[in-house]
């Protein structure tokens, strides 16, 4: 007996921000971690420490939406990624998560 296919994902722009905004949020959160705590936290999440540090320090050679999505999920923020043309967007499952991210971004401008 086969499993049914996963339902299609339909983007909702009202719950979405650009990849660039999500990246800025992740960078701002990573900058708040106390000295010496990032490496053990990153390792505990099963992520590559060097990639996360490079993302934090804006030294990534290309967009890394999957890493941004993994960071958000590690902070309890489930998301979906989608593309429109050449642009990547991050859609939040909960409006309160989107509001929290937007508030953080506006506070750091």
* pLDDT tens digit at each of 109 positions of the chain: 566 666 666 788 999 999 999 999 999 999 999 999 999 999 999 999 999 999 999 999 999 999 999 999 999 999 999 999 999 999 999 999 999 999 999 997 7
Beta-carbon contacts of 25 under 8 Å, excluding residues fewer than 6 positions away, are 72, 101, 104, 105
pLDDT at 108: 79
Q: Where are the domains of the chain?
A: 15-107
**Ramachandran quadrant class, 66 (left: phi over 0; alpha: psi -120 to 50; beta: rest):** alpha
pTM above 0.85, yes or no: yes
- Tokens standing for residue 55: 């993302």
């Amino acid at each position: 007996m086969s499993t049914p296919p996963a339902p299609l994902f339909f983007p909702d722009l009202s719950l979405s921000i650009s990849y660039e905004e999500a990246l800025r949020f992740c960078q701002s959160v990573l900058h708040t971690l106390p000295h010496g705590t990032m490496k053990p936290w990153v390792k505990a999440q099963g992520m590559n420490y060097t990639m996360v540090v490079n993302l934090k320090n804006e030294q990534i050679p290309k967009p890394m939406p999957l890493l941004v999505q993994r960071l958000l999920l590690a902070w309890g923020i489930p998301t979906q990624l989608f593309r429109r043309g050449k642009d990547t967007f991050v859609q939040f499952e909960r409006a309160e998560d989107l509001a929290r991210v937007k508030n953080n971004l506006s506070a750091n401008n």
